Amino acid sequence: MTTPLVLTVISADKPGLVESIAQAITRHGGNWLESRMARMAGQFAGILRVDIASDRVDALRLDLDALKAQEINIQVTVSGMAEEAGHRVLQLSLVGNDRPGIVHEVSQILVRHGVNVEELETQCTPAPMSADLLFRAQARLGVLPQTDLSALRHDLENLADDLMVELSED
């Protein structure tokens, strides 16, 4: 019997970091199934899903915990959650002038409509032909069948006059 695990990783970025994690997983017969990892401001953060024999979980945890000596911090969580059935997946694209609190405002609207953020990527980039910053967000959203997409789009567009919102089925 196998146990599904989700590992979250944070560390100062350095060569060999991913290899150290992969080596520990392989040493215990684990299978690295999927991951999202990135470097930002000199830090490395990631989340990955691993499948491992149930009797090897504790040994893997000890090995991963030993990586703290290299300042690689890993949290291990047993994943018992199945994918939510019956929800639609939408892609959300937002572009507008940057300002403090925009992620909070957007997330308030999403939760009010019962929308789950499954993936989120944001960035600020210089606007063409000006020194102003543009906020850009790409999100994968889990939406219940009863969610009123028109009302959701309306609420997002009303956050600011300059905010461009695109919602599309995945």
**What is the dotted CATH code of the domain comprising 88-169?**
3.30.70.260
Residue 91 has pLDDT above 90, yes or no: yes
Domain ranges of the chain: 2-78, 88-169
Same fold? 2-78, 88-169 = yes
Using a 10 angstrom Cβ sphere, with 0-12 exposed, 13-18 middle and 19 or more buried, the burial of residue 45 is: middle
* pLDDT tens string 114-141: 999 999 999 999 988 888 999 999 999 9
Question: pLDDT tens, 21-35?
Answer: 999 999 999 999 999
SS3 state of residue 14: coil
May I ask the CATH architecture of the domain 2-78? 2-Layer Sandwich (3.30)
What one-character-per-residue DSSP string does 58-86 give?
A: HHHHHHHHHGGGGTEEEEEEE--PPPPTT
**Two tokens at 110?**
């999403």
Whole-structure pTM value: 0.80
Q: Give every CB contact of residue 167 below 8 A, 6+ residues apart in sequence.
A: 90, 91, 92, 149, 152, 153, 156
